[in-house]
Chain A
Amino acid sequence: EPEVTQTPSHQVTQMGQEVILRCVPISNHLYFYWYRQILGQKVEFLVSFYNNEISEKSEIFDDQFSVERPDGSNFTLKIRSTKLEDSAMYFCAGTYTTNEKLFFGSGTQLSVL
């Protein structure tokens, strides 16, 4: 069964540094999402992306965050200047059509020190 692939699985960074989290969605998916999960808490929506532009974003997704699909394959989340409170598991997800189940990757655990 096709999978959503995320790299790296763990990322440790210093506060103020830039990080890029990478995702390779399932090939026929058209709608892409980033979610995050702070340890022990619920999964929170960050941003949705379709047709090379952001469809919707949450309050969490401020000016420090950006997304890109640079080559039609990878889907990236960049955090420009990380803060301690950005420490979380970040999940990429995708779907072929709207109103259908999302397929999630296994996540990148980001630790900001």
Chain B
Amino acid sequence: GESVGLHLPTLSVQEGDNSIINCAYSNSASDYFIWYKQESGKGPQFIIDIRSNMDKRQGQRVTVLLNKTVKHLSLQIAATQPGDSAVYFCAESLGGNTPLVFGKGTRLSVIA
């Protein structure tokens, strides 16, 4: 089963390096996927999204990859900066007005 509590997976990267955050999603019927960044004491902030008919989408310094065969989603951050330090959540939905289901989150720590 899932682990709960304060023990989030943590990824530590050097400033300037690329970061890859991974997420295994649960429902093969999910049609829409999204990455959020959450800084301490704040609400989730949108980073990038992707629909199931795509396998890659790029934004500014970020890329999302979707592998539906193994139900895997990843977020790549290029040239990671100290301001990227946060908890990153993936979320999935079946599309339409169905609610987003969030994953457990990964804490990204950027070492200056």
Contacts and interface: CB of A to CB of B under 8 A. Distances in A.
Interface of A: 4, 31, 33, 35, 39-45, 48, 50, 55-56, 58, 91, 93, 98-107
Interface stretch (B13-21, B64-72, B89-97): B89-97
Contact of A43 (B4, B89, B97): B89
Interface of B: 4-8, 31-32, 34, 36, 41-46, 49, 51, 89, 91, 93, 95-105
From A41, A44, A93, A100, name the one whose CB has the most chain B CB atoms within 10 angstroms. Answer: A41
A48 to B, nearest CB: 6
Nearest to B31: A99
Contact of B99 (A4, A33, A40, A103): A33
Given A99-B96, A107-B42, A42 B31 contact: no
6 contacts: A40-B6, A40-B7, A40-B8, A45-B99, A93-B43, A106-B41
B3 to A, nearest CB: 10
Nearest to B93: A99
Contacts, number: 66
B46 to A, nearest CB: 5
Given A40-B8, A102-B46, A103-B46, 4 more contacts: A43-B89, A48-B99, A98-B96, A107-B43
A31 B43 contact: no
A91 B44 contact: yes
Contacts of B42: 106-107
B104 A42 contact: yes
A91 B95 CA distance: 21
B49 A56 contact: no
A43 B100 CA distance: 9
B4 A41 contact: yes
B103 A42 contact: yes
